[in-house]
Amino acid sequence: MGRILAEYGAEVLKVTGPNLPDVPFFQIDVNMGKRTTDIDLKSEEGRAKFEELLADADIILDGYRPGTFEKLGYGPEALSRLAVKRGKGYVYVNENCFGYEGEWAYRPGWQQIADCVSGVAWAQGKFMGLNEPVVPPFPISDYGTGAMGAIAALTGLYHRATKGGSWHGRASLMQYDLLLFSVGQYDEKIQDELRSRQEESFFALRHQHSVDQISGTVMKTMQKQHPHLFTQHRETWRSHGFNADVSVITPVAKIEGR
């Protein structure tokens, strides 16, 4: 969510706890365009620092389990009250794994879990001619859900500008997967064509292989068959944290003058 908004000109600050680990790959990929900081929201000093940031914030993106921010005193209702005091609303967007109703709503989870629970991984295995699940190549649900959350944030900004008040949006990995199922699958003719393009290494993948292994296998085939995807529609961004240039896909939408 944050990276998409950064691409459209937002100043994005990623706030994490000082004891939470992060995956280096994600630092380069999904953190492009963001600033980062560590804040302990369980300490008085950390809470004071966070509330200073909230004073000027427009959007809060919450990727924790439902209820986590509420327990810390910074959920949507608390921020709505703060918005009244400061005279400007907030746009609050939640993103989680299992949605916001039912007994699984408060469970933690990530893309591979959502893909398995929703049946997407089983559909992927069936596509490969197997009677077992295989995690789909690439973090499709992660990025798709992020896009949904970014749309919710932009919609909230529009409503705040035209109607005033604070706005709350929600997105989840499971809801995105179920949306894909609701659209339906390609017919068998197209699926046969897609299967014919794959190499033997693809059909050797099984349920125990990680998304990194699966994505790497498919990526090699894509580089052979569609080299233009890795050369066209790309921009070079400077990563000051890594002191390196990073090639990224050009944003689909363009904002004139930026």
The string of pLDDT tens digits covering residues 63-100 is 988 888 999 999 999 999 999 999 999 999 999 999 99
Q: What is the DSSP letter of 222?
A: H
The number of beta carbons lying within 10 Å of the beta carbon of residue 183 is 6
3-state secondary structure 180-216: HHHHCCCCHHHHHHHHHCCCHHHHCCCCCCCHHHHHH
Which of the given ranges, 4-8, 18-22, 87-91, 231-235, has the highest pLDDT on average? 87-91
Query: Which domains are assigned to the chain?
Result: 2-117+139-192+231-249 (3.40.50.10540)
CA–CA dist 180, 133 (Å, integer)? 17
Average per-residue pLDDT for the chain: 91
Residue 142 CA from chain centroid, whole number: 4
Which residues, including other chains, have CB under 8 Å from residue 14's CB and lie 6 or more apart?
Answer: 2, 31, 34, 35, 36, 37
Which residues, including other chains, have CB under 8 Å from residue 197's CB and lie 6 or more apart?
Answer: 221, 225
